[in-house]
Amino acid sequence: MSVPSPSGGTDRGFPVPRIWLYRHLLIQLARRDLKARYKNSVLGVVWSLLHPFLMMMVLAVVFSYVGRFNEGIPHYPAYILCGYLPWLFVATSLSTSVRSVVDAASLMHKVAFPREVLPLAVVLSNGVNFVLALIPLLGYLAFSGIAPGIRLLMLPGAIVCQVALLAGLAMFVAAANVYARDVGVILEVVLFGWFYLCPVFYAPHMILDTAPRALAAAYFLNPMATLMMVYRSALMNIPTPAIDLRLWGVVACALSGLVLLAGWGFFSWRQRFFLEEL
């Protein structure tokens, strides 16, 4: 277990015990992030629930009548919403966490605490929003006549897997942004491309039917592509006969774990020099 260092940082060590000691700070930072997000907002937290449904309507209209991506997909608006909500979790977590360390420069000069809590608090606060948004989603699915079924038990595992993926990425971009402040601009481009590499508005079989086998396999090495299929299978009870979802789900969780370890390793390596750069 690590202890605060004289420079105001923390010695490197296994992160879980260290973060557990500062769990109250983590929760407090996540709560502050939630309050700041809805400060001076008329709708408050309702907006986090309303926004995905508004985007669902826009995407459903555009991709139904312009691209005809809805062909062969029952309950297309619900299909989009089950993919867009996880994607919104990705986009908001990473676009906010990229500045989490830089914006806390004054706090880090005053108090010794594990710096990992800064990007992790952002992921935690956005995770709370995501879970809250699942409640009206389930209501919308019930209203649309969609029964999740026993596959709903896959939902907690998918959420944990996505949190691990985002925690690793959040720590990486937050640490990288300390040394190159244009990481945020690069991240916007990466998120734009990543959105289209995930089956938010189209069916995965479009990739399987048109792409070469090697390219299709590489596509599903994108953890979010697989996780979106898992979410839809859990929430909408959609079968995936052309894809072994159990196999690819395990692959997605393994890759998310590797990303978590890599992100934490990079963050731990660079955080010793944060105070010098800020």
CA–CA distance, 152 with 233 (Å, rounded to integer): 8
pLDDT in tens, 52-62: 788 888 888 88
Helix (H) or strand (E) holding 179: helix 155-179
- Report domain extents, the chain: 15-277
Average per-residue pLDDT for the chain:
85
Q: Which residue has the tokens 């072994």?
A: 244
pLDDT at 41: 58
Query: What is the pLDDT, as a whole number, of residue 4?
Result: 43
Residue 44 is predicted with a pLDDT of: 59
66-109, pLDDT tens digit by residue?
767 888 788 999 999 999 999 999 999 999 999 999 998 888 88
Q: Amino acid letter at 59?
A: L
At 8, is the pLDDT very low, low, confident or very high (cuts 50, 70, 90)? very low
Q: How far apart are CA 103 and CA 72, in angstroms?
A: 46
pTM: 0.88
Instruction: Measure the CA–CA gap between 232 and 74, rounded to whole angstroms.
Output: 12
CB atoms within 10 A of CB 94: 25
| Residues contacting residue 213 through CB under 8 Å, at least 6 positions apart | none
Give the Cα separation of 53 and 141 in Å (integer).
Answer: 12
Taking a C-beta distance cutoff of 8 angstroms, is the pair 148, 234 a contact?
A: yes
